[in-house]
Structure 1
Amino acid sequence: MTVTQEQADWFRGAFDGLVANIDQAILGKREVIRLVVTTLLSDGHMLLEDFPGTGKTVLAKALANTIEGTHSRIQFTPDLLPSDVTGVTIYDQGKGVFEFHRGPIFASVVLADEINRASPKTQSALLEVMEEGVVTVDGVGHSVGSPFMVIATQNPVEQAGTYKLPEAQLDRFLMKTSLGYPDHRTTVSLLLDASNRARASRVSPIIAGTSIVAMSQLASEVHVDASVMEYLSEIVTATRSDKDVLLGVSMRGALQLARAIKTWAIAAGRTYATPDDVRDLAVPVLAHRIILDPESDFAGVTAADVVSRILVDITPPVTRAT
């Protein structure tokens, strides 16, 4: 199906409405909000890494309140068990049967708060559901429904007692970003409204979950020229041979970037993706999938630096593929 300009205009209006609604709770972070909404509409998951008190939890709650779906919050702790996340099968003596009791993962938007504080075994319980939208307990699969999005948070400080996310799980997150501290004007506005301790509660639903699914389907139909895909492939390939990289971006990462640029393009009111869409999303989509060489890491090189350098080195296409 070819996306029409009328459909693209409608999508842009709905997208901007979602962003503006969430912006009521998170002031001055419109670009980050756009990335989060893009992740949702690309059927992906978001990892927010930032210092404590920057609004990571508020952002996740505001997104959940914006769509007419269910939401849950899981506080990850060292003693959290996989069954505390996915649910458990319990024998009902009265009925004489085993019944599955759903865990908090069964929600439209799931906030996995401080995910790096749970054990690797518990973290791995998210792998299947993040990739396939299904939870398997005692050999039986249970769908979490659609839309479904995991927003995980972790703090770069206070690392004592935390567990680094394995590469296989990092690869499941479509994007990784951070909010950062607000600017001076936004800080003053927040201080004047300091008595309001529940900013996310101000956010009311403005769109149904079924409409989110429809928007995701429409975004997947956006046209991407072969030249843009070749450009994307060159960037991904370059991460695997860079002198500072031990392990580059996987094929899953390339596919997720291809999905994300379609959503980013139609959110701008276009029926087609451009090389600029790839450049806009390359760092948040690709950087967290790169494993740096230990010596380069020690020297202060970051994965974002690697991706930015590659974007400078590779010339984007200026004509369509023939």
Structure 2
Amino acid sequence: MQDITSTGIYGTPPAELAEAPAGSIQFSPLIPGSRRLEDQAEGSLTDMVVLAPPGTVERRYTAALALRALAPGGALTILAPKDKGGSRLAKELKAFGCEVGEISRRHYRICSCTRPAELAGIEEALAVGAPRFDDRLGSWTQPGVFSWNRLDPGSDLLGRNLPALSGRGADFGCGIGILSRIILSSPKVSHLAMLDIDRRATEMAARNVEDARAEIRWADLRSGVRVAGLDFVVTNPPFHDGGAEDQNLGQSFIRRAAESLRSGGVLWLVANRHLPYEGVLKPLFKRVTLKAEASGYKVYEAQK
């Protein structure tokens, strides 16, 4: 008989709104080292606390995974800001066959329910949120990953302006590998470290980039990931954290690139036109050149 004693948590919900018991297993794909909720045995958890993702498909997929992992009668607490899916949580849980209690606090909707003996609509939600091959992208992708169902215009602009690179380099925030494939089209590239904070992105990148020169790593660049002596870094850095604009994210990518490059190495960066990255680039690089500007984006080449 299976020993059902574990509790789980997905993401980092505000502790004052929903605190998971000490020792809970972290399942967020955005926290490196976390477990895969997809792999958790059905009916193996007693409790689960979920900070729900904002995207509808990803949110329903995550809720379905959480409910599947709970034992019948196990408790689920799931919450989200009202304007980022919270207002729809109760309806979505009821569609899975749950009886839902709901409260509002600090602009969040917090829903609680127990896992019913029989769930409804779980398989459909799991199928819709699962990895799939996108013919338009020519790539494997998954809902929730950055620009999962369209070619990001910033990455497109950067990819069209990249020269044939050479030596050892990195793709910071590689996503599903769109830019990495362009980088690796140059036979002079000897090694490419592909790093992303999203586990799902690295899993899709592993399907999309089948090249012995590529090393794919699930990692948070802000936490001291060590790569050094690089000839080049390519990046389309994020500038949103939890849905809110955070310019410090892109700035931290620039600083990490400067630390990772050898003297004379180059950074290729794309950014939204309104982001003030020049002030961070110029003190760290001896030459900063605007190489392209279109559709609200700008591409820089910066030499260490």
Report the TM-score, using the length of structure 2 for normalisation: 0.27
Which structure's residues are more often strand, by fraction?
2
The answer to which structure, 1 or 2, has the higher relative contact order (CA under 8 A, 6+ apart) is: 1
Tell me the TM-score normalised to structure 1 length. Answer: 0.25
